[in-house]
Amino acid sequence: MKIRKIDWMWQGILAIILILIFASPIYVLVGVALKSPSDMSSMWVLPSYINIENFTVAINEGKILLSMINSLIITFVTVILIVFAGAFASYPLARINTHLNKFVKAFTLGIMIVPPLSILVPLYATLVNIGGVDSYWGIVLTLLTFELPLSIYLYTNFVSSIPKALDEAGSIDGCGPIRTFFSIILPQLKPVTASVIILAGVHCWNDYQFSLYILQNPEYKTVTLAISSFFSQTTSNLNAAAASALLAILPITLVFLFLQKYFIKGMVDSAIK
């Protein structure tokens, strides 16, 4: 009994340490965003006043609201395509055990370990040739290419855990493969779909490396580019950048809070089963 009590104590201490580690950046971000640029106090000290001028600068000069709309469009379209293509591709990969499907699954895993920046030069040259630079569809196609393998991997493992008897029951009732997928399999993919939406959505929303090179027109600037615009070689506005970052994390945080009850279950089921 005493040993169990000690274990619970150490678990509580570890939990508190982890909370402090992950919460401290948000704490500093809020403090810097609310401070005046002339306030030279420590970042760890919250101001005794609230300065909304930083948010005004972020909205008017940094165009953070326009950038959030651009990021929202790019993220929404990309995530929809990732979910649909990943779920639809996973069904035959999980159900048909052929050498070709085994190769496709291995190839998908191989793509996941390729560093994206290692192929940036040929990727950019290709987008220039097909007119994909400074366009929504160019960045969507790029993000879809690098995020789709993880979606296929998670969906394939999850579909493999669904009994094939359900497919056979659908076949007896006259359902073809496509109708079986949409009527029987797809409704059971809610947990893993929530995981895919969160993982892919966060990656697309926070993308900087591809957006920096592909979206050079200020009209297509995303939130990460808007935040980085407050830093230059000569001057920087840390307070306005913090205010922009605080506004930028709100949408993706709300999505996570809405889908969090499905997230852990989807990750565990798709990775273990």
DSSP the chain: -HHHHHHHHHHHHHHHHHHHHHHHHHHHHHHHHHS-TT--S-TTS--SS---HHHHHHHHTS-HHHHHHHHHHHHHHHHHHHHHHHHHHHHHHHH---HHHHHHHHHHHHHHTS-GGGGHHHHHHHHHHHT-TTSHHHHHHHHHHHHHHHHHHHHHHHHHTS-THHHHHHHHTT--HHHHIIIIIGGGGHHHHHHHHHHHHHHHHT--HHHHHH--SGGG--HHHHHHTTB-SS-B-HHHHHHHHHHHHHHHHHHHHHHHHHHHHHHHHHHH-
β-bridge mates for residue 231, sequence order: 236
Q: Give residue 59's Cα distance to chain centre.
A: 24
Q: What pLDDT does residue 74 have?
A: 95
Which pLDDT band, with edges at 50, 70 and 90, does 54 fall under? confident
Per the CB < 8 A criterion, the answer to whether 181 and 166 are in contact is no
Residues 119, 106: Cα–Cα separation, whole Å: 20
- The tens digit of pLDDT for each residue in 96-128 reads 888 888 888 888 888 888 888 888 888 889 999
Count of structural domains within the chain: 2
Are 4 and 134 members of one domain? no
Residues 51, 269: Cα–Cα separation, whole Å: 46
Are 186 and 216 members of one domain? yes
Are 43 and 167 members of one domain? no
Q: Which residues fall within 8 angstroms of residue 212, CB to CB, at 6 or more apart? A: 225, 228
Q: What pLDDT does residue 255 have?
A: 80
Are 199 and 153 members of one domain? yes
Per the CB < 8 A criterion, the answer to whether 35 and 161 are in contact is no
- Here the tokens at position 153 are 């991997």
Are 28 and 69 members of one domain? no
Are 101 and 23 members of one domain? no
Residues 81, 255: Cα–Cα separation, whole Å: 18
Q: Which residue has the tokens 């002339």?
A: 38
The predicted model gives 169-183 an average pLDDT of 80
Q: What pLDDT does residue 261 have?
A: 67
Are 45 and 83 members of one domain? no
Q: What pLDDT does residue 139 have?
A: 94
Are 153 and 191 members of one domain? yes
Per the CB < 8 A criterion, the answer to whether 74 and 210 are in contact is no
Are 229 and 163 members of one domain? yes
Q: Is the pLDDT of residue 257 over 90?
A: no
Are 46 and 94 members of one domain? no
Are 92 and 212 members of one domain? yes
Domain span at residue 157?
A: 56-272
Residues 195, 151: Cα–Cα separation, whole Å: 9
